Structure 1
Amino acid sequence: MNIHQPRADIAETTLAIVEELKRLEGPLLPILHELQEEFGYVPQECLPVIARELNLSRAEVYGVMSFYHDFRDHPAGRHVLKLCRAEACQSMGGDQLAERAKRLLGIDFHQTTPDGAVTLEPVYCLGLCSCAPSAMLDGEVHARVDAADLEALVQEARR
């Protein structure tokens, strides 16, 4: 992930990724995922390149990108903490856990701590419904998360 790439290189990298993936059936989502993997987010400069190369309107590309919660239009923090907001997790204390995370970090969902350490995001199912509530820190899932677990995850992310 290279969030400090010069703007001219963003267009070149985008074009290379689009060229590599555009022959797939339904290439837009794989392209957006690859761009986010490369840059840590999907820079706005990528959208017209994608639209042109896939013969789509910019509105279509933006609509798909903005529909899916996992795509970011700005860089995330060094660590991303996702809290499950689905019904099973809510019923097992997920709402209280979310409020505690917001207080511990001093931010709301879709925000990053001022030091750039942690981005807090909601996710609407991690597939651990029988082990609710669940969280994910930097792609690693955690089940049956309680207040102490949450504090440990936040401390780990702040290091």
Structure 2
Amino acid sequence: MDETQAGVLDSIEELETIEQIVTSIKHKPGALLPILHRIQDQFGYIPDAAIPVMATHLRCTAADVHGVISFYHYFRSQKPGRHVIEVCRAEACQAQGSREFERHVREKLGIDFDQTTPNQDISLKAVYCLGNCATGPSIRVGDKIKGRMSPAKFDRLVDELTTFKLELK
């Protein structure tokens, strides 16, 4: 890797980690998706500097790798906020008033879906079913699903996440 690619990451150690991930999986059939998952699990997103590493090891183009990343909505190409809030937009939640709730969420955070608050505390993501249909509208923060959300409940949650810097476990 050249210094330009390394400069995108926080450190040379991160670039070495990407190299280790890629080389440990590259020999498996269909290795690109497992590599992308492992890198995102490690960093929270797919750093730009990882694309040429994957392309070189997998003997494909950077455009091929980027195409897979951009095709799957699960993969992020930007570092997410400290907390990722996923808002269910599926029909069952819509029937429970999620469209009005979504408007409130976007107004409260001052961002839209697939954006992060300026202080890097919260990223907002749309999802299409959290499997919590009977108690919509629902959201997920980390690995916790919360149902029967209301604007007041959401405001309290955001205040807790941002004021006290809580980590949901």
Same fold, TM-score > 0.5, yes or no:
yes
Write the distance in 2 (CA, Å) between the matches of 1:70 and 1:112.
16
Gaps of 5+ in 2: 1-7, 164-169
- Counterpart residue number, 1:116: 120
Instruction: Tell me which of 42, 45, 48 is aligned to 1:41.
Output: 45
Percent of aligned pairs with the same amino acid: 42
2:19 is equivalent to residue 9 of structure 1 = no
Is the CA contact 1:10–1:46 (under 8 Å) kept in the aligned structure 2? Answer: no
Instruction: Tell me which of 101, 105, 119 is aligned to 1:97.
Output: 101
Is the CA contact 2:139–2:147 (under 8 Å) kept in the aligned structure 1? Answer: yes
Deviations for 1:121-154, whole angstroms, at most 9, x for unmatched residues? 1112212223222101122111222222222221
1:73 deviates by 1.1
Write the distance in 1 (CA, Å) between the matches of 2:36 and 2:136.
30
TM-score, with structure 1 as normaliser: 0.87
Instruction: Tell me which of 33, 57, 81 is aligned to 1:29.
Output: 33
| Root mean square deviation, CA, Å | 1.9
1:113 deviates by 1.2
Write the distance in 2 (CA, Å) between the matches of 1:93 and 1:24.
45
1:5 deviates by 2.6
The structure with the larger Rg is 2
Deviations for 1:61-103, whole angstroms, at most 9, x for unmatched residues? 1111112222111111111111011222122111111110111
- Counterpart residue number, 1:80: 84
1:4 deviates by 6.5
Q: Which has the higher contact order (CA 8 A, sep 6+)?
A: 1
- Counterpart residue number, 1:125: 129
Gaps of 5+ in 1: none
Write the distance in 2 (CA, Å) between the matches of 1:84 and 1:156.
21
